[in-house]
Amino acid sequence: MSEARKILVTSALPYANGSIHLGHMLEYIQTDMWVRFQKMRGNQCIYVCADDAHGSAIMLRAEKEGITPEQLIDNVHAEHSADFADFMVDFDNFYTTHSEENRELSEKIYQRLQAAGHISTRSVTQYFDPEKGMFLADRFIKGTCPKCATPDQYGDNCEKCGATYHPTELKDPRSAISGATPVLKDSEHYFFKLPNFQSMLKEWTRSGALQESVANKLAEWLDSGLQEWDISRDAPYFGFEIPGAPGKYFYVWLDAPIGYMASFKNLCARRPDLDFDAFWNKDSTAELYHFIGKDIINFHALFWPAMLEGADYRKPTGVNVHGYLTVNGAKMSKSRGTFIKARTYLDHLNPEYLRYYYAAKLGRGVEDLDLNLEDFIQKVNSDLVGKVVNIASRCAGFIHKGNAGMLVADMPNPALWGHFVEATPSIAKAYEARDFARAMREIMALADAANAWIAEQAPWAMSKIEGQQAQVQAVCSQAINLFKQLVILLKPVLPKLAADAEQFLNVPSLTWDDLGTALGDHQLNPFIPLLTRVDPKHVEALIESSKEDLLEMENTNSVEEIICNGELEKEPLAKEIDFNAFAAVDLRIALIEKAAFVEGADKLLQLTLDLGGVKRNVFSGIKSAYPDPKALEGRLTLYVANLAARKMKFGVSEGMVLAAGPGGEEIHLLSPDSGARPGQRVM
């Protein structure tokens, strides 16, 4: 056997200001599955994470709740830890960024960067809330778009016209925290000189550490030139003070990635077998992998590796990027009850249902994963209950009744057993590559083969024939051994099912090496049902409970929820109009025939639309959400057909396509239901 690998695995830190939801769980479940696979293979694989526990949002929420920030993050940490444990996400250490280890490492890394000439300072003009006595982050400033005059816009881009600007350019600005009119004020800020690492990052991002699509995206930013990163915030702020700079604090985005290192350092203090330097020193030969969502690529694949390089630490072996979670084909929605908290799911459904469904849908790319609830019910019931568990439930009874629960060593179909053994390297390769969907397909193909053979042998019919008892035992014993193989292959995904199966099989904890051996002349324990079918009523109850969660969140009115998560708060409902006014808008189905970048435009895509024979040209500010415009070609969308044409710098825009979201990467082009045709009126 080859020498065991030394692997350290991290996941993006959950923010200590709210509950874990199923979108978050997409990341932690897939990471956990990969880690469990490595451990089953005999590798030393350590999985650490932490709560991201600093920032203005935490300070403001704690203030509103009348508790200290420390109390808030302790409360949230307990909630997060319970959710992860119940979803069987088996961290070796789940820590917090508000720790002495994190403080020490943040200061050490900063001082190394400073000594190496990678830190600069300069005066920055920002909005200041005179009532709260604090500088305002972009998301805490709202006002009127300076380009199109749309009111109630947040931050640095307009969700209506797509224009980008500095928050100080907003007209009629006001603080989203106090409602006061902010004033411009200068303060000294500290910056990390990211451009110093331009050449290193160009090489590293093409080294194989990233998926190709991610490397291509980063190449756009690298080619356009990197900017210095602001790493400081002014008091009042909840975080670590910058050494030698009273009243200046490390911005959360600096000490968050250091949280991975701090969590591991804390674990090392309790595990004599682990050495921090062996994993983090420049010359480390250990593997280091990080799992993140696509929304924070630039930070974890540019800033973090550069910061590590500049502070003389090693860089990640790989950064594994995944897409978003949608529910029933759309972004999670509070109004539909599809904004589902982890705890709400756990109150209604078996966590292994979700673990398996995620595994069955997760490839190694960055595509979004859709949790289609009808498909979820069907797939779990069909695959896990109908195929895998079904083997044991159909055959265990014959062994207990006919041979006192003793498996026989006979193997009536050695070819089928050989097929199972031969299939395992391919499944291992899929797990290693994080291509969980392929692994699940290949495992279920084996389950199908086993069930087909069992059905062909029909031990339930054979048992009624005189003189066939030995054959019944042989068939059912081999079937149980095939079941054992499937359990091992699924163990990274279904640890609870595997533990229950190990109890039934009367074996110690199964490893990957056990795939090559069969149980013969072996005593089974009594069989108990291993997994029940998903009841659609429980899914319906989950949706209803999620709607109730919304009401509770609205009543709580936490600062962060109101400011950052409340869509209606960001964009209040407009004044009522009568039906005739609405009917004047001619909405049509349009086919996106061609989509292309607009040279010289940061936000725009040029769309050629087909309205059932009539062609229209539209410039739309959706580039940030659709970096590959070709992916839009052939898609149907909604189009305002009778909007007066606008002459723009890049040409004439004829009408407007409809999209939802606050802007940036959160722009979602609207699509009609299947069956709609270009040119049809939307009523």
Beta strands in 273-368 (DSSP E): 287-293, 318-322, 325-327, 330-331
Residues in the chain predicted with pLDDT less than 70, given as ranges, are 1, 334-336, 549-583, 602, 649, 661-666, 674, 683
Instruction: Report pLDDT for 335.
Output: 62
Dmax (CA) of the chain: 95
CA–CA separation, 584 and 44 (whole Å): 66
Work out the burial of residue 624: count CB atoms within 10 Å of its CB; fewer than 13 is exposed, 13-18 middle, 19 or more buried.
Answer: middle
CA-CA distance, 396 to 415, in Å (whole number)?
Answer: 22
Cα–Cα distance for residue pair 572/562, rounded to 1 Å = 12
For 193-240, the pLDDT digits (tens) are 999 999 999 999 999 999 999 999 999 889 988 999 999 999 999 999
- What is the rounded distance in angstroms from the CA atom of residue 629 to the CA atom of residue 53? 37
CA distances from 215 to 297, 313, 366, 580 (A): 10, 22, 12, 50
Give the helix/strand (H/E) hosting 233. strand 232-234
pLDDT (0 to 100) of residue 94: 98
d(CA 240, CA 55): 10
Instruction: Compute CA 74 distance to the chain's CA centroid, rounded to the nearest angstrom.
Output: 23
Chain-centroid distance, C-alpha 56: 24
CB-based burial label for 454 (10 Å; 0-12, 13-18, 19+): buried
Among 201, 296, 202, residue whose Cα is nearest residue 11: 296
Rounded CA separation 340/357 (Å): 15
Round to whole Å and give the CA distance between 291 and 618: 37
CA dist 377 and 516 (Å) reads 33
Report which residue type is found at 428.
A
Model pLDDT, residue 576: 53
CA dist., res. 451 & res. 553, Å (int): 47
- Residue 617 pairs in a beta bridge with 608
Residue 451 CA neighbour count, 13 Å, CB half = 20
Compute the distance between CA of residue 499 and CA of residue 489 in angstroms, rounded to an integer. Answer: 13
- Assess contact for 652 and 604: CB atoms under 8 A: no
Q: Which two tokens stand for residue 682?
A: 């939307």
pTM of the model: 0.80
Q: Report the relative pairing of strands 93-96 and 44-51 from DSSP bridges.
A: parallel
Query: How many beta carbons lie within 10 A of that of residue 285, not counting itself?
Result: 10
Cis bond upstream, residue 173 (ω within 30): no
pLDDT at 551: 60
Q: What is the pLDDT of residue 583?
A: 66
Pairing of strands 248-250, 232-234: antiparallel
pLDDT at site 554: 52
In angstroms, the CA 194 to CA 228 distance is 5
